[in-house]
Amino acid sequence: MNPVGPMNQPLDGLRIVVTRAAEQADVLVAALADRGADVVVVPTIAIVDPADAGAALRVAARHLDDYDWLLLTSTNSVERVAAVFEPGQRAALPLAVVGTRTAAAATAAGFRVELVPDQYSGEGVLGAMPAPPASGGAILFPRASLGRDVLPDGLRAAGWRVDIIETYRTIAAEITDDQRAAVADTDLVTFTSPSTFTAYIENMTPDVGAIASIGPVTTAAIRAAGHEVAVEASPHTIDGLVEAIVTWAEVDR
């Protein structure tokens, strides 16, 4: 971000809601505040341990020789896997990720990032993954409990064996009356996943107002529920979302 000054406050006077999980919200909150927004933080989801408390991931860590690739599609997965893998194991497999933020987190944790698609989505990874070896190949895919199946299904169709390991669960966060009151008079609500939107609608109010979405998967979930999307990020990252909101505020609003 550029240094903040009088000419770098395009969101001045706007109240914007951030619905990300509390442990993930800081980057988006800071970026919006740096642009002058009055940010209202209302986490609608929480990240919790997998149902097996990580047992399956610990077993997989003992059998990395069975795999050709490691696939991680979120910083949450990077953190959970890094907590289980020994430092020497983290670079044992080439790693495919979705997006530069996940790549940066993985690199910092000692993983060997070898594939970052130009399109930051599961479909992007699917299009960029090499073909499996002629003898067959296997991918270890630690992810959230309710992740989309587009990527693993596509990889299997391409000939890969994909072992999905649940590394965390996303659940609805408890919403207080004060938080409900805080969103009553806001200009824009941001959603960075379908789960943040679903939890908001179920626990807050169906009258969302203007909506900003991080990308087409989240947008599709929002529209399927009968709501319009005023802003969609491109690229589908936190930085892309902030820039799209700035454009909306300056041009489209």
Taking only the tens of pLDDT, the chain with its 253 residues reads 444 444 478 999 999 999 999 888 999 999 999 999 999 999 999 999 999 999 999 999 999 999 999 999 988 999 999 999 999 999 999 999 988 889 999 999 999 999 998 877 778 888 889 999 988 899 999 998 877 788 899 999 999 999 999 999 989 898 888 988 888 889 999 999 999 999 998 887 667 789 999 999 899 999 999 999 999 999 888 999 999 999 999 987 7
Tens digits of residue pLDDT in 85-97: 999 999 999 999 9
H helices of the chain, in order, are 26-34, 55-61, 75-84, 100-108, 122-128, 150-157, 177-182, 194-203, 216-224, 238-247
Cα separation, 12 vs 225, whole angstroms: 30
pLDDT of residue 22: 87
Closest residue by Cα to residue 42 from 190, 171, 168, 242: 190
Cα separation, 200 vs 37, whole angstroms: 21
Token pair, residue 29, equals 């909150």
Neighbours of 180 (CB within 10 A): 13
Amino acid at 5: G
Tens digits of residue pLDDT in 42-76: 999 999 999 999 999 999 999 999 999 999 998 89
Tokens 């795999």, located at residue: 67
Domains of the chain: 6-44+173-252 (3.40.50.10090), 55-169 (3.40.50.10090)
Cα separation, 60 vs 149, whole angstroms: 20
Question: What backbone torsions phi and psi does residue 58 show, to the nearest 5 degrees?
Answer: -65, -35
Closest residue by Cα to residue 142 from 93, 191, 100: 93
Cα separation, 123 vs 117, whole angstroms: 9
| CA geometry: angle 183, 184, 190, nearest 5 deg | 35
DSSP secondary structure, 82-151, as one string = HHHS-GGGTTSSEEEESSHHHHHHHHHTT-EEEE--SS-SHHHHHHHSPPPPTT-EEEEEEEETT--SHH
